[in-house]
Structure formats: C-alpha cells, structure tokens
Amino acid sequence: MRSLVLIGHGSHLNGESAVAAYRYAELIRTRGLFDEVIEGYWKEEPSLRQVLRTTASTDVTVIPMFISEGYFTETVIPRELGLGHQGPVPPEGIARVIGGRTVRYTLPYGVHPGMADVIVARAREVLPELGPDGPADGIETALIVLGHGTTRNENSSRVIYENAARLRERELFSEVHALFLDEEPRVTGWADLVRAPRVVIVPFFASEGWHTLETIPEELGLSGVVTPFADTPHGPQQVHYARPVGTHAAVAEVILHLAEEARGAGGPGGDTERGHEAAWQAFLTLARRGARVGELLVTPELGVFEIRNALDEGRPGGDLMTLVTPEGVRDRVRFTDGGEHRPVHTLRSLPRGWRAVLNEADLRRAVHYTYPAVVEETYAHGCHALRPTPWATTARRQTGIYAKVQRAVPEQVERVAERVCAACLRTRLWAGERLTHSFLDGVPGGMPCAEACTFLVAEVRAEVARKKAASAS
C-alpha cells in the first residue's frame, strides 16, 4: 500500500491558491498508481503538522508542489513534517521513519529534468507547427524560458538556466534564452538579444496570476497569444506567448517520475497504518448508526450515506443541491455561504443548501475534505496518543516573517485566540483546555486542537505588528 502526499502553499485568504494541488491530485488518482493521493498545505488544512497522520499507509511519498527549491522546500516543509532536516535536499530526497510511517521527501517538481518536456508542451500549444525535430514550416524560432528571478533565491534562476541548457541540446529551436522578470538578463530586453523572426515565450511559473496575466504582457507589449512586432533591431518578429508551465497536465507525469525515483527499488510498498484505519473504523461504526460530526449530519440510507449541514436537517432533498462525489463536497465546503474562503474547516461556517449521497469509501474522503485530520486526531486523543504542543513551542519553531510571534506575551496570544478560536469547534488542548467527550462519543462539537493552527499564528503576528506600530506612533 502506498500514499502520495502533494504539498502546496495554500492561503488564508485566497481559495484559488490550493486548486493546483487538488487538480494534480485528481489527475494522479485516476492513474491508480497510488492507493491514495492526499493534499496538504502550509496555510490550509490538512496542515503540514497534520497531513502525515491522515495517510492510510506506512509508505508515504511527499512531493512539494513548488517550482524551485527555497525557503519552503528546504526549511518550512521539512520542519513542519518533523523530518529532522534543514537545508538543501539531496537529489535522492530524504527518507525518515516518522510515527511508524516511512516518509520519503523529494525535491520540488519544478527542478525535475522532465520539466523541459512541459516547457516544450506549452510551446507547442501556441506554436502548433513545432514538430518533434523543430518547426515543421522551417521558420527559425527562438525559445525564451522566462523565470521570475530574484536576488534572494538563486535556486529560482538556476532552474531556468538548467532548463534552457537542456532545451538547447535538443536543437528544437534555433536559439534558447533564459530571461527574467526581476533580474538580469531581463525579458524586457528580448528584442536586442533574439535574432529569430519567431519567438516563443514560456513562463516558468507555478500558476496563472498577476505576473503571467498582467505584468508580463504589459511590460512586453503583448496583445494576445501572438503579437507581431514590425520594428525590432533584428527586423519584424512575432512573439507567441504561452501559458505557465505549472498548470500543464503533463506536470502530473513529472510528479509520478519524482515519486518513483524517490522509492528507488522500494519493493511492494507499506502496510495499512493501523491507527489510521482504527480511527476510520470507529467513525464508520458511528456513521452506520447516524451521527453528528461538528456541523455535519451523517445519515445512513439503504447502503449509502447522506451528509448535509445539520442546520438543513428535515429539509426535502429536492430543496438542496445534491453532490455525488467527495470532490464535489470539497469544492462546496471550501467556501462559506457568503463565498468566503475557509482555510480552517472547523470554524463554524460550514455552508448550507447542499447534501451529498455517497458510498462508504467516498464518505471517508468527503469527511476528510470537510474536516481534514479531525477523525484521526479525535481518535488519537481518545487513545491518549495526541500530544498537545504548547504555544511557546509553536512560537519558537516559527521562522521568516512569523518569527515575530515569539515576541507575543501570553495575554496577547490569549486575546487573539479568544477571538479566533471562539468561532472554532475544536477544543484548545495546546492552551490547557480539556476535552472529555468527542463526536466519537456522541458530542458533535467535541474535537481536539493539539496545536495552534497557522491561521491563529498569522493573527498573533498581525497583533504583534499592530502593537509595535501603535507604540511607535
């Protein structure tokens, strides 16, 4: 049995941030090579601290869904997963045994040599004439691999140069250039550099966004997919502007290669993780009788299960939107009724107006999406196997912009927590609160919080910053 975990950044504010990881997880799931594909996030749930506990097998491969190596892939993710490693990840990845699971952590997908194929695939979308040996119409064509570039992270430019070098060797294009938005050589100077009459620009970016949709077209004067330039130092030229590599479906192949390479001669995989399976069996026993889990009402119906917001209890099914897949539930519960993003799923803001009818396997996945890690953590708490992490430990671990939470005094933390956590179903074990009964014992809102979530950490940071600004003025 094998589990694959894709780690995305996520966002406390923007619901779109997590979508790329979801989409790749879906693509890889359809390939059936892993028994499960789970997504985990820095700023959403399941969080990096929780995600390993949500995996069903003892053989787990973790892939950071980042375009280059850097602070997140070398510091934040290894630290939060408990890998006991900081700094550059070796090409073969890192393997550790954590809580009975063998965990293999790989380099981010963006540095895999297979990304050169994704660049070519993107180029082909805007230049269908590009055949296996070069442009079929014989017109000289240059390729620009466009990176963000930043003096703070030399890895992000290194991956651009490496891909440009790989593609030069393939001789598909008459010229291949590595250019950048924020460092030299800048893409704004392309016309001085590129001689070919036709130019393909492929942004080596993780996702579509402000840069790919606005700043790049604006700075280069692009008017669409194809833009003619009548007067450049090398005569008339035509620029073909591709979509970013990170959103291409072929990235799924790169992820699978990475996962296979991380396993090496890894054998048949692991076993079912017993604690995880026991947690879900306890949940299913409850579900078969009908249950409330937080704001969710679970009702067994003729061999399947219906879930809905408990506030919609008694409403005719025809009045509600009927969902039939875990992914449909996921996409619904990620936003409140007002359309606001829900980075913490145990906040009491589960949307209403829907129901889902699911078989037992899909019920597990739908409940995982609705309350990530809650079944596993609640069961572990009941077995006295969930160790709370006090605030001071969480604060000490923070780095980068979050390091300033170490300056928060206990009263500040408590004040913020009272505001944020008051809206949350979970009981703050990390602050010394006690949870004597859980939803597994029939108390719907009984769910443990073993450690302050990143949402609360961010709010404490904002409070510290506000206090500092107030005392300076």
Which runs of consecutive H residues, i.e. helices, occur in 248-353?
251-263, 274-289, 326-333
Minimum distance from residue 443 beta carbon to ligand SF4 (Å): 16
Nearer to ligand SF4 by C-beta: 213 or 392? 392
Q: Which of 428, 440, 445, 458 binds ligand SF4 (CB under 6 A)?
A: 428
Q: Which is nearer to ligand SF4, 36 or 45 (CB)?
A: 45
Output the smallest distance, CB 447 to ligand SF4, in A.
Answer: 9
Q: Is 65 in the site for ligand SF4 (CB under 6 A)?
A: no
| Token pair for 61 | 């491969």
Pairing of strands 321-323, 354-358: parallel
The token duo for 286 is 């409850």
In terms of CB distance, is 37 or 380 closer to ligand SF4? 380
Stretch that binds ligand SF4, among 107-115, 140-148, 284-292, 424-432 (CB under 6 A): 424-432
Q: Does 456 bind ligand SF4 (CB under 6 A)?
A: yes
Stretch that binds ligand SF4, among 195-203, 212-220, 394-402, 448-456 (CB under 6 A): 448-456
CB 316 within 8 A of CB 306: no
Query: What CA–CA distance (Å, rounded) separates 466 from 460?
Result: 10
CB of 370 to ligand SF4, least distance (A): 14
Can you say whether the dihedral through the CA atoms of 446, 452, 454, 460 is positive or negative? positive
- Within a 10 A sphere around the Cβ of 90, how many other Cβ atoms? 9
Please tell me the count of residues contacting ligand SF4 according to CB under 6 A.
Answer: 12
- Strand segments (E) across 85-244: 94-98, 101-105, 130-131, 134-135, 141-147, 175-180, 198-203, 226-229, 237-241
Secondary element (H or E) of residue 8 = strand 3-8
Q: CA–CA distance from 375 to each of 232, 297, 338, 420, 456 (Å)?
A: 62, 15, 27, 22, 21
374 binds ligand SF4 (CB under 6 A): no
Smallest distance, ligand SF4 to C-beta of residue 333, A: 16
H or E segment and range at residue 4: strand 3-8
Q: Do the strands 94-98 and 59-64 form a parallel or antiparallel pair, or are they unpaired?
A: unpaired
Binding string, residues 204-243; x marks residues near ligand SF4 by CB under 6 A: ----------------------------------------
Find the part of the chain contacting ligand SF4 (CB under 6 A) among 69-77, 187-195, 367-375, 416-424.
416-424
Residue (207 or 427) nearer to ligand SF4, CB: 427
One residue of 363, 375, 416, 452 binding ligand SF4 per CB under 6 A: 452
Contact flag: residue 424 with ligand SF4 (CB under 6 A): yes
Distance (Å, whole) CA 92 – CA 77: 17
Cβ proximity to ligand SF4, 165 vs 462, nearer residue: 462
**C-beta of 87: minimal distance to ligand SF4 in Å?**
29
The C-alpha atoms of residue 64 and residue 216 are separated, in whole angstroms, by 26
Q: Is 453 in the site for ligand SF4 (CB under 6 A)?
A: yes
Q: Which stretch binds ligand SF4 (CB under 6 A): 7-15, 116-124, 176-184, 418-426?
A: 418-426
- Which of the residues 338 through 357 are near ligand SF4 (CB under 6 A)? 344, 346
Q: For the segment 127-146, give every residue that binds ligand SF4 (CB under 6 A).
A: none
Q: Write the CA distances from 123 to 153, 177, 207, 221, 253, integer angstroms.
A: 26, 14, 16, 19, 17
Residue type, 148: H
Min separation Cβ 80 and ligand SF4, Å: 15
Q: Binding of ligand SF4 at residue 458 (CB under 6 A)?
A: no
Read off φ and ψ for residue 57, nearest 5 degrees.
-115, 170
If the CB atoms of residues 132 and 432 are measured against ligand SF4, the closer one turns out to be: 432
User: Which of 206/405 has CB closer to ligand SF4?
Assistant: 405
Which stretch, 60-68, 79-87, 348-356, 453-461, contacts ligand SF4 (CB under 6 A)? 453-461
Nearer to ligand SF4, 357 or 431 (CB): 431
Q: Which of 449, 458, 460, 464: binder of ligand SF4 (CB under 6 A)?
A: 449
- Structure tokens, 470: 């107030």
User: In the bound complex, what is the minimum distance in angstroms from residue 464's beta carbon to ligand SF4?
Assistant: 16
Q: Does 426 bind ligand SF4 (CB under 6 A)?
A: yes
Q: How far is the CB of 275 from ligand SF4 (least distance, A)?
A: 21
365 φ/ψ sector (left φ>0, alpha ψ -120 to 50, else beta): alpha
Sequence-distant (6+) residues with CB within 8 A of 196 are 140, 141, 142, 173, 174, 175, 237
50 vs 155, beta carbon nearer ligand SF4: 50
Based on the shown chain and the rule CB under 6 A, indicate whether residue 420 belongs to the binding site for ligand SF4.
yes
CA distance 143 to 371: 45
Amino acid code (one letter) for 172: L
CA distance 392 to 410: 9
Binding site for ligand SF4 (CB under 6 A): 344, 346, 420-421, 424, 426, 428, 449, 452-453, 455-456
